[in-house]
Structure 1
Amino acid sequence: MNTKYIDLINQTYDFPQEEFKVDKGQLHFHDIDLMQLTKEYGAPLKFTYLPQISNNINRAKTWFANAIEKHDYKGKYNYCYCTKSSHFKHVMDEALKNDIHIETSSAFDIDIVERLKKEGKITNDTFVISNGFKRAQYVTNIARLINSGHKNAIPIIDNYEEMDLLSKEIKGKFKVGIRIASEEEPKFEFYTSRLGIGYKNIVPFYKNQIAGNKKVELKMLHFFINTGIRDNAYYWNELLKCLKVYISLKKICPSLDSLNIGGGFPIKNSLAFEFDYEYMIDEIINQIKLTCEEEEVDVPHIFTEFGSFTVGESGGAIYEVLYQKQQNDREKWNMINSSFITTLPDTWAINKRFILLSVNRWQDTYERVLLGGLTCDSDDYYNSEQHMNAIYLPKYNKDKPLYIGFFNTGAYQETIGGFGGLQHCLIPSPKHVLIDRDENGKLTTRLFSEQQKSEDLLKILGYQNGQNESAEVEVDEFETSEKQ
């Protein structure tokens, strides 16, 4: 009878997969021995596998290149990285190795762009697409970037007053885009996105504020829907509406030559994940070309702003199961040595699904469990609702430590969780390790950040050293007390 954890996974999914395999009862991720990583750095542990960032960028660039060649599409494709997914320098440095561009969303993003320019990672030829609702500092920073000679900086107009604000601070001519306020799916609590300008108002807005302004050149129409790029009637309908606006604008605005279709490519959230990226890209290019040909206008250059797709599948988190609580005759709670609220906030906030697998003990028998975090918050858990299926893991045994891994967690979790700051119930942030490969393909690791200590949190809270000696307990002691 097949009752081992490895039997369960093999019977339930097509396994092993491209990034996952098992060797001697232990899980490997992109040929990284996760138990060896855990032994070296301890758990809880977060890691970023940098090569996967470049891998996903080049996958998308290849898919678009193939579709453009297949359909004899006359426009160019530009891959932009959506920085809000992860602003970390190691992420930006890796992404920028691949001849890409940048999408920003707030004032401080521009400061990052300027730092990267000084290092030679970005040039004046790099497109900097600035989205978001722009207040004074954001406008000032965009203007400073453009005034310094970065002519490929394109602010995307989000509301009616931004044109005047930008015109006052930018010297000379500059380029802009306009964001369409897309209509949301019926399940949403609102009908139209708060971002951008309504479909029917874009042509009048262009005529009133841009057409007669000799300083401004409209270059781009920006389109994005909240649910992302999906093969459903809603997406194709919204894309068609967007193309109608583009064509109407193009006929009265010759300078308009680019269509930004935003981001929203899904990432793998289960071993059963299936998404035909190539088909979607092929059909998007085809639909744009056919629609433009029917109206006898030139096809636009295509821009995308992939964030989660770029960085999401590079990240992971490893926890140790500290203890099992049998709360009734049916529910077994495996308590991890960290918190879902603080380290994987999307599991709590939006029931985000991540790939969950045991790191070790794949040859052991399994059981159905719930996973609980260390905080005293009743929402600090991960169960079948987030996981899509019941959670099965190797049976708890206090004499045989069990480690579990969450994968493809690289987008948003650090910034939403408040990297380096206060955490709920003062649960410390775990260590973070960067994993790369040298020129010979050999794995290399380095510690990016240490696990938080009590003095780190006390300093933020305003307590001075020596005021409360009993509070100055190292994280290791904190973990030990929890295990006991």
Structure 2
Amino acid sequence: MNTKYIDLINQTFDFPQEEFQVAKGELQFHNIDLMALTRQYGAPLKFTYLPQISNNINRAKSWFANAIEKHDYKGKYNYCYCTKSSHFKHVLDEALKNDIHIETSSAFDIDIVENLKAEGKINDNTYVISNGFKRAQYITNIARLINDGHKNAIPIIDNYEEIDLLSQEIKGKFNVGIRIASEEEPKFEFYTSRLGIGYKNILPFYKNQIANNKKVNLKMLHFFINTGIRDNAYYWNELLKCLKVYTSLKKICPTLDSLNIGGGFPIKNSLAFEFDYEYMIDEIINQIKLTCEEEDVDVPNIFTEFGSFTVGESGGAIYEVLYQKQQNDREKWNMINSSFITTLPDTWAINKRFILLPLNRWQDSYERILLGGLTCDSDDYYNSEQHMNAIYMPKYNKDKPLYIGFFNTGAYQETIGGYGGLQHCLIPSPKHILIDRDDEGNLTTKLFSEQQKSEDLLNILGYKQSTTKINNKKIESTKNTVKISENDNY
């Protein structure tokens, strides 16, 4: 009988896969021995496999290069990374090894850009595309960047006041883009994105505020779809509407030469995941070219802003199953030694699914379970996998510890969860490991951050130093020492 966990996976999926294999009953991820990693650093832990960032960037660049060559497309392609997906320095350092550009979304992003410039990681030729609703500090920082000589900084106009605000602080001419306020999918609670300027208002806006403004050149039209780039009628309809606006603008605005098709690619969230990236890119290039030829305008340079696609598949989280609770005849809860709300907030906030697999005991029999976190919140659980609407794991055995991993968690989790700050029920943030490869291809690991300690959280809460009185003696508890004093006057 095929009753082992590995039998279940082999029967359900095409397995092993490029990044997942099993050796001696234990899971390997990109040939990383995850149980060895866990034995070395303990659990819970998070990790970032840095080479996957470069791998995904170069996959996308090759797909666009192939499509541009196939269709004899005359425009250039520029890959931008959305820093909001993960602002960490190790992520930016890895991504910038691959001749890419940056998309920002807030004032402090510009400080990161200036830091990277000071280190020589980027230069004045690097495009800095600044999105978001801009107010005083963001405007000031963008202006400072441009005034310091970064001519490839392009603020994307989000509302009618931003042209004037930028003009007041920027010396000389500067380039801008305009963001289209795309219509949302029918399932949304609202019809039009709160960001950008409506389709029908873009040409009047250009004529009123940009056409005769000697300081401003319109360089880019920015098209963003909240649901990302997907092969459905909604996406293709919105793209064609965008292209109509682009060609109309191009006929009256010679400086317009770029189209930003922001809105990211999906990433793998199941072993059954399928998405034809090459087809989507090929058809996007084809549709842009056909529309421009029909309207007799030059094709634009193409910009993309990939955040989750860049960094998402580099991340993972590992937990230990502490205990199993049989709550009724049908439901078994495997309790992990951390919290989903604090470490994987997307699972709780937007019901996002990640790839979930055990690290060990693949040769053991399996059972259907639910996964629970440590907080006292009723929402701190993870209970469904997309392929079967249930979780199956090797059977709980208190004498044989079970370790589980969530994969492709590298985007947004730290920033949404409040990295380095307070966590729900004061559950500490786990340690974080960086995994890389040296010039010979050998794996290297580095501890990026330790698990939070109680004093880290107490300091945030204002408990800088706690004092207690025992038997008329003063006890002062500091970070490193405990002192006992006979002084009774406090």
TM range (shorter): over 0.9
Check whether the contact 1:354–1:387 (CA below 8 A) recurs between aligned residues: no
- TM-score, normalisation: structure 2: 0.95
Check whether the contact 2:265–2:306 (CA below 8 A) recurs between aligned residues: yes
What CA deviation, in whole Å up to 9, does each residue of 1:217-275 have, x standing for no partner?
Answer: 00000001111100000000000000000001000000000000003200000000000
In the aligned structure 1, how far is the partner of 2:414 from the partner of 2:438? Answer: 26
Which residue of the partner structure matches residue 196 of structure 1?
A: 196
Which residue of the partner structure matches residue 102 of structure 2?
A: 102
In the aligned structure 2, how far is the partner of 1:246 from the partner of 1:52? Answer: 34
In the aligned structure 1, how far is the partner of 2:66 from the partner of 2:477? Answer: 60
Q: Secondary structure at the match of 1:259?
A: strand
In the aligned structure 1, how far is the partner of 2:147 from the partner of 2:387? Answer: 49
Q: Secondary structure at the match of 2:299?
A: coil
Write out aligned runs for 1:40-439 (5 A).
40-384=40-384, 389-439=389-439
1:331 partner letter = E
What CA deviation, in whole Å up to 9, does each residue of 1:157-178 have, x standing for no partner?
Answer: 0000000000000000000000
In the aligned structure 2, how far is the partner of 1:470 from the partner of 1:34? Answer: 42
Which residue of the partner structure matches residue 482 of structure 1?
A: none
Check whether the contact 1:318–1:404 (CA below 8 A) recurs between aligned residues: yes
1:92 partner letter = L
1:461 partner letter = L
In the aligned structure 1, how far is the partner of 2:303 from the partner of 2:264? Answer: 13
After superposition, the Cα gap between the structure-2 partners of 1:367 and 1:294, relative to the gap in structure 1 and judged at 3 Å, is same
1:279 partner letter = Y
> Are 2:15 and 1:15 equivalent residues in the alignment?
yes
In the aligned structure 2, how far is the partner of 1:296 from the partner of 1:117? Answer: 39
2:171 partner letter = K
After superposition, the Cα gap between the structure-2 partners of 1:240 and 1:114, relative to the gap in structure 1 and judged at 3 Å, is same
What CA deviation, in whole Å up to 9, does each residue of 1:150-204 have, x standing for no partner?
Answer: 0000000000000000000000000000000000011100000000000000000
Which residue of the partner structure matches residue 33 of structure 1?
A: 33
Tell me which moved more, 237-246 or 381-390: 381-390
2:88 partner letter = F
Structure 2 spans left out of the alignment, 5+ residues: 469-474, 481-490
In the aligned structure 1, how far is the partner of 2:389 from the partner of 2:282? Answer: 32
Check whether the contact 2:314–2:409 (CA below 8 A) recurs between aligned residues: yes
Check whether the contact 2:466–2:476 (CA below 8 A) recurs between aligned residues: no
In the aligned structure 2, how far is the partner of 1:389 from the partner of 1:221? Answer: 41
Which residue of the partner structure matches residue 479 of structure 1?
A: none
After superposition, the Cα gap between the structure-2 partners of 1:175 and 1:32, relative to the gap in structure 1 and judged at 3 Å, is same
2:165 partner letter = L
Shift of 1:466: 3.0
What CA deviation, in whole Å up to 9, does each residue of 1:349-382 have, x standing for no partner?
Answer: 0000000000000000000000000000000000
Check whether the contact 1:454–1:472 (CA below 8 A) recurs between aligned residues: no
Q: Secondary structure at the match of 2:58?
A: helix
Shift of 1:435: 0.1
How many matched pairs? 474
Shift of 1:471: 9.8
2:265 partner letter = F
Structure whose CA Rg is larger: 2
What CA deviation, in whole Å up to 9, does each residue of 1:266-312 have, x standing for no partner?
Answer: 00000000000000000000000000000000000000000000000
Shift of 1:103: 0.1
Check whether the contact 2:181–2:197 (CA below 8 A) recurs between aligned residues: yes
Check whether the contact 1:347–1:386 (CA below 8 A) recurs between aligned residues: no
In the aligned structure 2, how far is the partner of 1:156 from the partner of 1:58? Answer: 26
In the aligned structure 1, how far is the partner of 2:38 from the partner of 2:194? Answer: 44
Tell me which moved more, 362-371 or 457-466: 457-466
Shift of 1:464: 2.1
In the aligned structure 1, how far is the partner of 2:479 from the partner of 2:336? Answer: 20
Shift of 1:87: 0.1
In the aligned structure 2, how far is the partner of 1:160 from the partner of 1:71? Answer: 37
After superposition, the Cα gap between the structure-2 partners of 1:471 and 1:16, relative to the gap in structure 1 and judged at 3 Å, is farther
Q: Secondary structure at the match of 2:466?
A: coil
- TM-score, normalisation: structure 1: 0.97
Check whether the contact 1:353–1:388 (CA below 8 A) recurs between aligned residues: no
In the aligned structure 1, how far is the partner of 2:467 from the partner of 2:162? Answer: 50
1:198 partner letter = G
Among the aligned pairs, what percent are the same residue? Answer: 89
Shift of 1:384: 1.4
What CA deviation, in whole Å up to 9, does each residue of 1:115-141 have, x standing for no partner?
Answer: 000000010000000000001000000
In the aligned structure 2, how far is the partner of 1:253 from the partner of 1:388? Answer: 53
In the aligned structure 2, how far is the partner of 1:174 from the partner of 1:262? Answer: 22
1:210 partner letter = I
Shift of 1:465: 2.2
* RMSD over aligned Cα atoms: 1.4
In the aligned structure 2, how far is the partner of 1:87 from the partner of 1:115? Answer: 12
Which residue of the partner structure matches residue 452 of structure 2?
A: 452
In the aligned structure 2, how far is the partner of 1:376 from the partner of 1:10? Answer: 36
Q: Secondary structure at the match of 2:440?
A: coil
Check whether the contact 2:82–2:307 (CA below 8 A) recurs between aligned residues: yes
In the aligned structure 2, how far is the partner of 1:236 from the partner of 1:467? Answer: 65
After superposition, the Cα gap between the structure-2 partners of 1:415 and 1:436, relative to the gap in structure 1 and judged at 3 Å, is same
1:193 partner letter = S
